[in-house]
Structure 1
């Protein structure tokens, strides 16, 4: 979230409340944040020299002055670097499903039952994402984009489960499928 907020401040100077509202509006409330979380993030960005107070302006609700933040040159560079950097999960990131399957295999657990349970959950999640996708009329809305990515991610998990299921079946039949 830090990088997304920095990017929004680089796009246009904003007060913390405006930043929160803009983020939630642009993401169609798919990623709600509380104002305290946004405020702490902006404070860290300021501490790190990525944003500064551009000016103060009266809060429309209270009339009290609020700080409007903008990016510094290093903040601009960081926002642009975030935008131009791939968002691929690190290969070293812990994957709960891989852990579950690995531990089930290594402990002699019931792998087919685990695979069946996971596959059923994946198919159910795909159905839910398809319903969410059908509610989005704009092809580029945050709701539609999120649903589409979720479907693609879940389809990849389903294919991986099929691979594990086939490899395990070969292994159980005396082949070397599980180690290939």
Structure 2
């Protein structure tokens, strides 16, 4: 049988009391695509393709969620978090388009 050590309890207490911070990635594929698409003059095409992919994923996850019990199960929480993450990315794509439209390719 396993048992937490005192050091383990302290670590667990620190983890429990600390907020989860999302690290900023050094390389994100979507940023790379946006920058290169802007240079090539194909930004709107890339944004449209990405939006279409996001909508397909959101629809699929919404369908999956509709078959889950309406309770805070781990599966529902995972699915819904992913839906919200995808919706945030869709809003970010709108923001990218607005920035480029307002200020040209140097805006972001």
Fold agreement, TM-score > 0.5: yes
TM-score (norm 1): 0.53
Deviations 1:35-72 (A, max 9, x none): xxxxxxxxxxxxxxxxxxxxxxxxxxxxxxxxx32221
Which of 73, 76, 100 matches 2:6?
Answer: 73
Shift of 1:83: 2.4
SS at match of 1:163: helix
Residue 103 of structure 1: which of 24, 30, 36 is its match? 36
Point out where structure 1 has 5 or more consecutive residues left out of the alignment.
Answer: 1-67
Q: Does the Cα contact within 8 Å between 1:129 and 1:151 map onto a contact in 2? A: yes
Looking at structure 1, the residues matched to 32 and 105 of structure 2 have their Cα atoms a distance apart, in angstroms, of 19
Residue 134 of structure 1 corresponds to which residue in structure 2?
A: 66
> More relative contact order in 1 or in 2 (CA 8 Å, sep 6+)?
2
Which structure has the highest strand share of the two? 1
**Structure 1 or 2: more helix by fraction:** 2
Name the count of aligned residue pairs: 108
CA–CA separation in structure 1 for the residues paired with 2:27 and 2:71:
32
